[in-house]
Each structure stands twice: as structure tokens, then as C-alpha cells.
Amino acid sequence: MRIVPKSRIAYINPPRTATMYIEDVLREATGNRVFTPSAKLSGHHTVYAPKWEDFHWFVSVRHPYTRCVSIWRRLIEHEPPGRAGVWKEILATRRHFEDVLLCDLPYVREYWQFLPCKQFTKDVPRVDTVVRQESLAEDLAKVPGLNSRIKRVTRNKPHASQDRTPWHKWFTPECITFIQETFAADFEAYGYTRDFEAVKRGEYTT
């Protein structure tokens, strides 16, 4: 999570939803400092305090199919989050998307259960704006303080993976079912379609 006190903005930032890019937008468009609320928590954890009640709260989200591939790529291409030693052992024998996604080890099960974007908003009283990665510039412009200056900072693109394989090539029917069940709240809350073929065509919402 990030806050911009001088602009009265609170940003809920689930991982792999263009978070670094959005943080740059917040900093450049507002001209103010962007803070992590608590140094004791991960940069993606959400906290709430009554003093932020009148802030404009927004969350960034992404379609669960493409986001899960992005999360997996992050795991195998970079330093894993949390207990790096545990992940190193897990990834030593499991590198393929399906193997990591459907791994039955408790730590991995808990990891995927933690990741739905809706989970990151459960402790806040409201969300004023939802920013979908698929319509990033359009949705960011709805956040007060960003709309008048958004054009000059959206020339940069969100982080891209080193792997250029089309995201949908990694999927099996079992992967689709798992994501539909695990990320059910995201499909419902953010209007994302479960239709895999539609998402392949770039049609993300219902």
C-alpha cells in the first residue's frame, strides 16, 4: 500500500498490477512524496487508519489469468517473496507454470490464496476507484489529482517479463479451473470474464 498525504490519496497495490508504474505516476503527477504506511509490513500489505478516512482510496487490479502468469514469471525470474529459502527449494524441482500453480504444498497453497486483489481491500471501509491494468491510463485519470497531468507520465510502460511466450500458452484446463476457483472474488468484484477464449482475444470484462 502507498499513501500520498498531501494529495489525500491512498493506493492499495496488489502485486503484479502495474504497481511500480502507478507509484511513479503518483509521484510525478502529484509532485508529492509517496509513503509506505508501515515499515514493519510488506510494501503490498494494506493497513487502515481513521486519519485516512477522507482520502481517495483506489486499488489496481488485473485479470486473474494474465496476472497469475505474471506472478509465476516473477517467482522464477527474480528473488521470490517471503521465505526465499522455502521458495528456492520448491522451485528447484518445479519451474513450469502448471507445477507452481497447482503445487499441493501448504506454503504454496497459502500463497495463492493470499493473492486475489479483493483480499487486499478487505480491511478498508470503501474503495473509491478501481484501476484495471487493461485500461490503465483511462482508469488512473479518474483518481483526483492525476487526471490533469496523466498524459505526460503514461508514456512509460509497465514492467515486462523477460519471457515473451504468449501468456495463454502456459494454460491447461486444470489451471483455468484453479484460477476461477481461487480468484472467484476478483472475477465477481471487478467484472472480469471467466471466458478463457475471450481473454485470449483481449476481451477482459463481461
- What confidence score (pLDDT) does residue 146 get? 82
**Residue 162, SS3 per DSSP:** coil
Residues 6+ apart with CB under 8 A from 154: 25, 136, 137, 140
Q: What is the DSSP letter of 89?
A: H
| Residues 59-72: tens digit of each pLDDT | 999 999 999 999 99
**Contact indicator for 9, 43 with CB cutoff of 8 Å:** no
Q: pTM to 2 decimals?
A: 0.91
- The whole-number average pLDDT for the span 167-187 is 98
**Contact indicator for 29, 142 with CB cutoff of 8 Å:** no
How far apart are alpha carbons 22 and 159 in whole angstroms?
Answer: 11
